Structures are given as structure tokens and as C-alpha cells.
Amino acid sequence: METTSKTSKATDWLLFLVFAVLFFTFIVYVDEWFWVPMPFMLTYLVKALNVI
């Protein structure tokens, strides 16, 4: 069993939100590049939800 600290989980949520804002900003302004922040957004979402 692996334990995660609160700061790590908070950092993961913060990074998810940052990349989600970047993702939606890219969709609005440069829609051909929206896929660039998408892997990072999804990675930090999975880490924040403790799926891994």
C-alpha cells in the first residue's frame, strides 16, 4: 500500500487545474494545438484521484 501526502495531492489538483485552464484556453484561441496540454491535464487528474 502506498500513502500519499496531502501536499502531493494538493499539488496534483493544482497542476490539474492549471493544465485544464490551459487546455480550455487553447481550445478557444488555438484549437489546432489543444492536444498539447491534454496529456498533462489527464495525468494530473488521474494522480489527484489516486487511480494509479
Show me where the domains of the chain are located. 6-48
Confidence of residue 7 (pLDDT cuts 50, 70, 90): confident
In this prediction, residue 51 carries a pLDDT of 86
Positive or negative torsion for Cα 25, 9, 39, 36 = positive
Q: What is the pLDDT of residues 38-50, one digit of tens each?
A: 999 999 999 999 9
Q: What is the mean pLDDT of the chain?
A: 90
Question: Once rounded to an integer, what is the mean pLDDT over residues 17-29?
Answer: 97
H/E run at residue 1: none
For the full predicted model, state whether its pTM sits above 0.95.
no
Helical ranges in 2-49 per DSSP H: 6-29, 38-48
Cβ distance 26 to 34 under 8 Å? Answer: yes
Query: What is the 8-class DSSP label of residue 5?
Result: -
